Amino acid sequence: MDASSTIGAAETGAVLKYSLVWFLLLLTIPLYFIQEVSGRIGIATGKGLGEIIRERYSRKVSLAMALPMALTDVLTYAVEYAGAAVGLAVFGIPVIVSVPIIFTAHLLLMLGRKYEQAERVLLFISPILFVGFALVLVESGIKPYPLFYFSLSPSFVFLLAANVGAVVMPFMLFFQASATAIKYSTRRFVPKRVAINRIRMETAVGALATELLMVLVEMSMAGADPSTNFLSPQSISKALSSFAGPLSPIFFGVGLVAAAFLALVVISLGSAWGVVEALGVGREKTFIVYILESVPAALAISLVPTQELANAVLNLLVFLVLALVGPGVIQGLISSDEKVMGDLKNTRLQSLLYWASLAFVLVFGFLAIF
């Protein structure tokens, strides 16, 4: 759940009220099955997705999967820095101050180069997300809006695609595989079957938590003016204060900062791991990838008004769906390859569930374009 996801869910709530709650909860299913395969690859091989693609296919194929993700992530970084800056602006901290603070905090965490350190930080931040967005919903109150609506109108289909892109992103596949490989390679006495059960439980909880957060944001923003610019602190404060009370902008700001920083860590690790694995260089080089991606984004957000990005966020979310095509397809092929996966390869049922989940996600991206 990142800043772009938060903005996408907020836009959905402002425009459609509670009408997409059913769809957000439905997304738990494909999110779980896609991420479960990433984790299973990490356990079966002890390696990241980029490394497996390079070894099984070629360096060129691996780079073709990782580099588009890395380029897209530069834009995603910009949205995360903008989200954090907007959240802190609610507390009166100007962008020229807040972005360097967020960048420095993220840099210090990345310098540690230990996934266990990052994981502890992420687990600490995650409850803050729930508290922040839940308090906004408490302030606004639950209204008797309908929970279901469906339409074939272009604007509705586009919002569906944006919400799909908000939760299933390319960098997550690389992150899940590498993080799982690192986590369980250091636990030598954990049998693979035990590790599989653990990662499945963690992935299920994570998928459900993500979608519940999306629902919280959608419902809490149901009373907002549809023209609200969710990357403008002034617009957010005005909109929330009008229907949810004076404290709601503060709660939303806390949630937005937490979402943005959590995503910065996950994106930087997933993207950097994917690139260095594709190149076949050591993980100590991940820091270089992080700098090349994040510095331009941080500088841009320090100089460009954050509200100028608002219209681009939903388009970015839709594009992320399309950027999932390559990594998603090749991950599905790898997960059914016995030479790579051994006895952890997909069963027929697992293959069916994976490909159905991936197709479900991708179809919305293509529909949004058409």
pLDDT for residue 187: 61
Whether the CA torsion 178, 181, 186, 190 is positive or negative: it is positive
**Per-residue pLDDT reduced to its tens digit, 359-370:** 998 888 788 777
Q: Give the span between the Cα atoms of 322 and 86, in whole angstroms.
A: 28
pLDDT for residue 214: 93
Q: Give the span between the Cα atoms of 359 and 45, in whole angstroms.
A: 25
pLDDT for residue 209: 92
Whether pLDDT at 39 is above 90: yes
Find tokens 């959608």 and name the residue. 218
> CATH number, domain at 161?
1.20.1740.10
**In the structure encoding, which two tokens stand for residue 289, read together?**
């990838």
Quickly list DSSP for 180-232: HHHHHHT-TTS-HHHHHHHHHHHHHHHHHHHHHHHHHHHHHTTTS-TT--TT-
**Per-residue pLDDT reduced to its tens digit, 151-198:** 888 888 888 888 888 778 888 888 899 888 888 776 667 788 888 999
pLDDT for residue 113: 63
- The arithmetic mean of pLDDT across residues 213-233, rounded, is 89
**Per-residue pLDDT reduced to its tens digit, 117-133:** 778 888 888 888 899 99
- The residue among 319 and 207 whose pLDDT is bigger is 207
- State how many domains the chain has: 1
- The arithmetic mean of pLDDT across residues 200-213, rounded, is 93
**Per-residue pLDDT reduced to its tens digit, 277-298:** 888 877 777 778 888 888 888 8
pLDDT for residue 192: 81
Integer angstrom CA distances of residue 234 from 31, 35, 89, 135, 148: 34, 37, 9, 20, 31
Whether pLDDT at 27 is above 90: yes
Which one-letter DSSP state was computed for residue 37?
H
Residue 226 near residue 243 (C-beta atoms within 8 A): no
Range of the domain at 59: 3-368
Residue type, 6: T
The reported pTM is 0.88
pLDDT band at 356 (very low <50, low <70, confident <90, very high): very high
Lowest mean pLDDT among 69-83, 108-122, 233-247: 108-122
